[in-house]
Structure 1
Amino acid sequence: MHSPDRTARTVICDQALRLFAADGADNVSLRQVAAAAQVSPSLVVHHFGGKAGLHEAVNERSLAVFGRFAESAAGAGEDFLPRRLAAFLDGDAPVLAHLCRLLLSDEPAGRQIFRRWHALKLAWLDSLPGAARAGEDRSLCAAWLTVNELGVLLQRHQLRGLLGGDPLGPEEAARWAGVGTGVYRDGLGGR
């Protein structure tokens, strides 16, 4: 049974997040969530009204966590957000996995995360000196940066195997950011 300091609603939401992150919400039944939370399916329905309500609550939780991250990243001058997000979550793998699933979906929550990331990149571009932030393609540039950064986040496991280290770990993230900075500054041909 769950610990007395955590409400049944919280335990249910935590277990749903873990299961949705691992298998996708469409592939997880309300009964599976109830079993993982060690409660009856009727208690899940009581708290969330059904699977749709539970799905919405899990998405809202992930959005709230991402919102706190975005607030902490705004104005921080950070140009490589995936590493900052991994550090912010500090091992909360289900939230990170759920955010990735949302980003790959066409759900409103996924669109919100993508747009917020894009806004962070726009703000970062605005913090750069002079001509680096000028131009009519500023939004396109921020979108390009967004897609590249999210690619690292979404392909983290593939990159880990390819690079021999976690691309969001301190050493590999520094290498990744260094290569990216060089490409942004010098192009693919270098100087």
Structure 2
Amino acid sequence: MTYEYRGQDRDVTGTEPGGAERIRTAAIDLYGRHGFDHVTLKDIAAAAGVSAPLVIHHFGSSAGLREACDEHVAESVNRSKTASVQRGHLPRNYVLELMHSQKHLLLYLFRAFAAGGEETDRLFDQLVDDSLVYTAAGEELGLVHPSSHPHRRAVVMLVQSFGALLLHRQIKRHLGVDPVDGPPEDLAPYMAALVELYTQPLLNADVYRNLMDMNVSSAAHTEATRPSPQRTEGPPS
């Protein structure tokens, strides 16, 4: 099957990309639209306008190309979020930010998270690490409140944001918009609900605090009442 290349023809500087960059961009575009299992290196080479051996020359294998794509996507997401913080405003929901700016990256992440595996684990870990850095910068600027557990918050925010990709059909059924296939300008119902969740408390703070205290007390009680491991004496010498 021959796939049409619909990726970006120019890099961020406005110049024509080199062979490796063009291959990577074509791969991100094709993987995002068709999935990892339905695109071959030959398809990518044809879409990028290069020979198949050149793909091997630059990336070694399909696994090497996938790794390069993952790294580029993570770097692009991090660059976008960092720039938003430096401009003085908190990044929007990850999905919407990518939908408005670079949809081909969003579709790639959709395919990656749906595929799973160790490659996706490494990609997600990088996204978490990067988010800790730019969120900390946002805290210093007073854009976000500090967290008692920054890593936990980062993981949950990413899961909630990208979870919408895997459940996009349900969002469309209930809200009439699709964060994967729909145009960004139609996402107002989804965005309104999202902003409310991020800016207005959902739970009564006092009740939630009591629940947290109960959980801590219960965990401490369980630890205190847990039998100590029995020491095993060795045979006499």
TM over 0.5: yes
Could you tell which deviates more after superposition, 13-22 or 176-185? 176-185
Do residues 81 (structure 1) and 93 (structure 2) align? yes
Do residues 174 (structure 1) and 192 (structure 2) align? yes
1:93 maps to: 103
The one of 115, 121, 125 equivalent to 1:111 is 125
Where 1:60 maps in the other structure, the secondary structure is: helix
1:13 maps to: 24
Whether the 8 Å contact between 1:79 and 1:124 is mirrored in structure 2 is: no
How far residue 68 of structure 1 moved from its aligned partner, in angstroms, is 0.9
Q: Partners of 2:89 and 2:98 in 1: how far apart?
A: 14
Q: Partners of 2:159 and 2:89 in 1: how far apart?
A: 18
Whether the 8 Å contact between 1:15 and 1:37 is mirrored in structure 2 is: yes
The one of 139, 150, 161 equivalent to 2:162 is 150
Mapping for residues 108-147 of structure 1, pairs under 5 Å? 108-121=122-135, 127=142, 133=146, 136-137=148-149, 139-147=151-159
Number of residue equivalences: 181
Q: Partners of 1:150 and 1:124 in 2: how far apart?
A: 21
1:71 maps to: 82
Q: Partners of 1:185 and 1:19 in 2: how far apart?
A: 43
Bigger share in helix: 1
Task: Select the structure of larger CA radius of gyration.
Answer: 2
Do residues 51 (structure 1) and 51 (structure 2) align? no
How far residue 48 of structure 1 moved from its aligned partner, in angstroms, is 2.4
Where 1:74 maps in the other structure, the secondary structure is: helix
Compared with structure 1, are the counterparts of its residues 163 and 186 closer, same or farther at alpha carbon in structure 2 (3 Å cutoff)?
farther
Q: Sequence identity of aligned pairs in percent? A: 26
Could you tell which deviates more after superposition, 92-101 or 139-148? 139-148
Q: Partners of 1:122 and 1:34 in 2: how far apart?
A: 40
Whether the 8 Å contact between 2:78 and 2:131 is mirrored in structure 1 is: no
Instruction: Report the residue type matching 1:84 in the other structure.
Output: E
CA root-mean-square deviation: 3.6
Q: TM-score, normalised by structure 2?
A: 0.59
Compared with structure 1, are the counterparts of its residues 7 and 157 closer, same or farther at alpha carbon in structure 2 (3 Å cutoff)?
farther
